[in-house]
Amino acid sequence: MVNGYKPTSLKEALDTLAKESVTPYAGGTDLMIKPDENATYLFLNKVPEMKNIVEDKEYIRIGAACTFTDIIENELTPAILKEAVSHIAAPAIRNLGTVGGNICNGSSKADSAMIFFATDSKLRLVSNRGERVIPITEFYLGRKKTTLDKDELLVEILMSRKGLNNYYYKKVGERNALAISRVSFAAVLNVEAGTIANCMIAFGAVSDVVIRRADIDAMLIGKTIEDAKAVKEEYLAAYDQAIVPIRGRISAEYRKTVCMNLLRDFLESNGI
């Protein structure tokens, strides 16, 4: 038996979160792996402010309680996110699992969270005290550790509307379908007026937190493809140092080799 509150507005959800000892519950696909019979849950799936996908001038704003199926079916969803989400689990999990749960569970294997890193997306965190919008890179403090305060909810993810069309995405798992990532990789690169306007790369399932090194990617920004070729080995060497995989069921050496192969393939696919 799962006990809890079912707020029907964001205000009601935040009031309950501020007053009671409750655990936010979106799709439950992570929480129900280890159900806590003593817990009281705050069900988020009837909070309309967290269920929308809309756009404004700058961003596509994705409600944290949108399921993966909602995201796949929405025409505003950028192709890079749609592709990654389509590879998550199977339809039954995609019908329940949400992007908010994927981000807040704090795992570097979270496939949609990794895309939000590769697209420099922002998170809108709200409590009764107010709200803050932070880059996703500032949300994670370590494995399963986030900056989310006890009285806060992740309400929306803000993805840039522009510049995400030329992307590269690969998920390496044990099988082609129904697999948790062993390594995941996403990258976006745009050339405008002959020079690289942006280059954003993320590696998931490699370290405790998704790896996103804007400082290394800056080596390519402002360069022509020819000039980028000239610094390619230096760029690869910087990532070779930056990627320090954790050991698990999969060896650190394997993860590192896959990361570097994917990075090279991404560069080559862009003529670098």
Using CB under 6 A, list all residues that contact ligand FAD.
23-31, 44, 64, 88-89, 93, 96-98, 100-102, 104-105, 110-111, 148, 153-154, 180
**Min separation Cβ 200 and ligand FAD, Å:** 19
Output 18 or 180, the one with its CB closest to ligand FAD: 180
> Are 266 and 185 within 8 A, CB to CB?
yes
Question: Cα-Cα-Cα-Cα dihedral of 15, 20, 26, 31, to 10°?
Answer: 170
CB atoms inside a 10 Å sphere around CB 19: 10
Q: Please identify, using beta-carbon distances, which residue of 111 and 217 lies nearer to ligand FAD.
A: 111
Beta carbon nearer to ligand FAD, 26 or 196: 26
Q: How near is the Cβ of 7 to ligand FAD at its closest, in Å?
A: 12
Q: Which is nearer to ligand FAD, 20 or 240 (CB)?
A: 20
Q: Among residues 78 and 101, whose Cβ is nearest to ligand FAD?
A: 101
Residue at token pair 């003529």: 271
Closer of 158 and 272 to ligand FAD (Cβ): 158
Residue 225 CB, shortest distance to ligand FAD, in Å, is: 33
Give the number of C-alpha atoms closer than 13 A to the C-alpha of residue 174, restricted to the C-beta side: 6
| Closest residue to ligand FAD, based on beta-carbon distance | 101
Q: Tell me the closest approach of the beta carbon of residue 93 to ligand FAD, in angstroms.
A: 5
Residue 219 CB, shortest distance to ligand FAD, in Å, is 30
Task: Indicate the residue among 50 and 267 with the shorter CB distance to ligand FAD.
Answer: 50
Asked whether 143 and 106 are in contact (CB, 8 A), the reply is: yes
For residue 215, the minimal CB distance to ligand FAD (Å) is: 26
Query: Which residue number, 60 or 85, has a Cβ lying nearer to ligand FAD?
Result: 85
Give the integer Cα–Cα distance in Å for 127 and 13.
Answer: 9
Distance in Å, CB of 146 to ligand FAD, minimum: 9
Min separation Cβ 74 and ligand FAD, Å? 16
Task: Dump the DSSP string for 153-206.
Answer: EEEEEEEESSS-SSEEEEEE-SSSSS---SEEEEEEEEEETTEEEEEEEEEESS
The β-bridge partners of 189 are: 199
Q: Cite the DSSP H helix spans in the chain.
A: 10-19, 68-73, 79-86, 91-96, 99-104, 111-118, 214-217, 225-230, 232-242, 252-269
CB atoms within 10 A of CB 260: 14
Burial class of residue 177 (count of CB atoms within 10 Å of its CB; 0-12, 13-18, 19+): exposed
